[in-house]
Amino acid sequence: MSKRDELSINQQELTEAWQRTLPDVIQQSDRAEVQADEADPRSVRITIHSAGHQMYSFDFKVTYVDSREIRTTLVDVEKDGKSVDERTDSIQQLVEDYTRHIHECAQALHELTHA
């Protein structure tokens, strides 16, 4: 019988830790917002506003599978408040970059999430 490797931090603390840490791993010119996912206590919602004149915002759902592993899901990409086709090469490149940054942030938070 193995004990399940579960998240050992409450959602409020988790959200605050992401709010503190994510800005350090994304580009300084980009802006990130982190909120608790009210439907799922193991998840946070992240919106990243890309820098520059493109005015893109990327919405991600980050769910803790266990205390170490996260699943990152792209929820939506918007430009000037309107949904856009996220399959273009330039947007896919940004999604990959942001997903990598999100995973870097999760790694930085291992001390908190893996007690």
Task: Give the mean pLDDT per block of 10 residues along the chain (115 residues).
Answer: 69 96 94 96 96 88 93 96 92 96 96 82
29, 39, 56, 58, 60 from 82: Cα distances, Å? 22, 24, 9, 11, 16
In the chain, what's the furthest Cα-to-Cα distance?
54
Task: Measure the CA–CA gap between 111 and 98, rounded to whole angstroms.
Answer: 22
pLDDT for the residue numbered 8: 78
11-113 under CATH 3.30.530, yes or no: yes
In the chain, domain spans: 11-113
pLDDT at 25: 95
What's the whole-model pTM score?
0.92
* Confidence at residue 4, expressed as pLDDT on a 0 to 100 scale: 65
State residue 104's pLDDT score: 97
In whole angstroms, give the CA distance from residue 76 to residue 67.
Answer: 26
pLDDT value of residue 57: 96
8 Å CB contact between 26 and 108? no
The pLDDT of residue 113 is 87
3-state secondary structure of 5: coil
